[in-house]
Amino acid sequence: MRLKILQAGEPVLREAARPLSDQEIRSREIQELIEWMRETMRDAPGVGLAAPQIGLSIQLAVIEDPADLQRNIAPERLAERGRRPVPFQVLINPEIRTAGAEAEFFEGCLSVAGWSALVARSLETQVDCLDHLGRPVSFRAEGWHARIVQHETDHLRGKLYLDRMRTRSFTTVENLTRYWNDLPIEEVIGRLRE
């Protein structure tokens, strides 16, 4: 089932979501919701989807960055972003700790459809969460994977990338593709200095 993705301006996107209980996580409703969120994310297509984006103020997000979404990106841009395939993951009640340097890259969002901007994010993140069955999971995310985790966790805290973006970089996805996508990020930042 494809779910409706809410757009910026919906109040639920600005609320801190509530944690899920163990009983809720194991319920048929949440298990079905996880599958529907996976289908919706893949169909969009996107690399992450948080429950507030579909109108539910609960701490649940799904992420996946399959190789086929990366095939049209130049190898040097993939390397610059630290972008490698990420298998499907469910993040429930996530707590993250960022570490190390930050880097700016263009980021988009299914709830800000058609737009993108430069966003600084940590290159490393330690994640503690529950998986789809409510089991504790800890992992370290790096590069683009860390960016996705931070982006989706922001949704669970009532934030959008718009709150973190370099405002001069805000662009349509069409213009991102036309003017900025193939340039090294340092060149993009240099051209957009405020």
User: What is the set of active-site residues?
Assistant: 152
Question: Is residue 107 a contact partner of residue 161, using CB atoms and an 8 Å limit?
Answer: yes
Residue 114: CA atoms inside 13 Å, Cβ hemisphere, count?
Answer: 2
